[in-house]
Amino acid sequence: MDALNALQGRVSSPRLTEPTPQGDILDNIKKAAFRAADHGRMRPWRFLVIEGQGLIELGLLFVKSSEGRGEVLTDKARERMVARPHRAPMIVVVIASPRENPKAPEIEQVISAGAAAQNMITAAYAQGVGAIWRTGAPAYDDLIMKGLGLENSERIIGFLYLGTIKGKVPEAPQPDIGEYFQPWP
């Protein structure tokens, strides 16, 4: 797929299954992250690739954090939460790892990590791999951050769910871009 079709047509795929992206296809997704605009080429990011047993452990961590926030889970709700990471066979956790730099303030480094995430889901779409960027309460939860081994200065930018698309790929909506771009002055 050419670049413009990928950029203009990318859609999320919430329904994903095995197999996971592998080999060159997975490498292409990883390499795309590194072409995010990045002030000072700081590469202010790192990624955790979670599959198999890791998905089970992530589900248990989701439960621990939910209970840590004082939520009372029924057995059914607990089961659903343990199963949440299994909505895809692979999750890439995108982590912003900002460092001190007088020219690139923290917000710019966090934005760069977001751009890396966007590049990855676009590279997935371009190759026919399903992807959806999710956050929710777990992305901002101290217990999750600790459980995933984040430093205090790091933040979770998102959980990229990746896999083989189940069903049909929806068409991307085509908004009236004129509403969003105005000439100035």
Nearer to ligand FMN, 15 or 134 (CB): 134
Nearer to ligand FMN, 11 or 143 (CB): 11
Cβ neighbors of 136 (< 8 A, separation 6 or more) are none
CB of 181 to ligand FMN, least distance (A): 19
Nearer to ligand FMN, 100 or 179 (CB): 179
- Cβ distance 92 to 160 under 8 Å? yes
Cβ neighbors of 150 (< 8 A, separation 6 or more) are 95, 156
Nearer to ligand FMN, 128 or 136 (CB): 136
Q: Is 45 exposed, middle or buried (0-12, 13-18, 19+ CB in 10 A)?
A: buried
* Total Cβ atoms within 10 A of residue 154: 19
CB of 101 to ligand FMN, least distance (A): 23
Half-sphere exposure of 70 (CA within 13 A, CB side): 0
CB of 134 to ligand FMN, least distance (A): 4
CB of 14 to ligand FMN, least distance (A): 6
* Tokens standing for residue 85: 């990471």
3-state SS assignment for residue 63: helix
Q: Report the interface residues with ligand FMN, using CB under 6 A.
A: 11-12, 132-136, 158
CB of 11 to ligand FMN, least distance (A): 4
DSSP 8: H
Nearer to ligand FMN, 11 or 48 (CB): 11
